[in-house]
Amino acid sequence: MSNGFQFDQFLGPRPFSMGYSRIEIPITRQNLFMMQRQFSVKGHEDFFPFDVFGAMNPSNNVDKNYRVRTLVLHTDAGFDIETDIVEKTFVFRNRSTNKGTTRYMSEKNVKPGDTIIIEKISSYEYNIKLKRGES
């Protein structure tokens, strides 16, 4: 019998984001409407640094013991999106002069069967691109 601590029993399916350079978010008929308005990264929270998650109301961020930072998403539509992530709903919250993910979903004409790929460049800089589904 070993008295050693078994750390592995506490690891989730993706325990640390350092080894992940990209995530893929499939677009389904069920999630398309939501994604067109509020782009959700639920289930991929560990891919992003903890300090990009802010309160639903940004004025409540003063209660945090860290400064909420923003990410830059370089899109394959030719514009950048500056955003943070709402901590309870895990959606991108636009912080740029562009219309953000709503504009991206519209300009790229995203449909069910497509996949959104987010690639990590650095902790606060990402590429976002569309992979068309098979039709």
Domain 22-131 has CATH 3.20.20.140: no
Long-range contacts made by residues 12-16, C-beta under 8 angstroms, separation at least 24?
Answer: 12/46, 14/46, 14/47, 15/46, 16/46
Identify the three-state secondary structure at position 7.
Answer: helix
Q: Which of 4-8, 85-89, 114-118 has the lowest mean pLDDT?
A: 4-8
> Residue 102's pLDDT band (boundaries 50, 70, 90)?
confident
> What proportion of the chain, given as a percentage, has pLDDT over 90?
50
Residue 121 CA, distance from chain mean position: 13
Reduce the DSSP state of residue 90 to 3 states and report it: coil
Confidence at residue 41, expressed as pLDDT on a 0 to 100 scale:
93
User: What's the confidence (pLDDT) of residue 10?
Assistant: 44
Residue 135 has a pLDDT of: 58
Cα(116)–Cα(131) distance, integer angstroms: 6
More reliable by pLDDT, 22 or 60 = 22
Give, for 101, the enclosing helix (H) or strand (E): helix 100-107
Of 69, 27, 24, 81, the C-alpha closest to 47 is 24
Report pLDDT digits (tens) over 58-76. Answer: 777 777 778 889 999 999 9
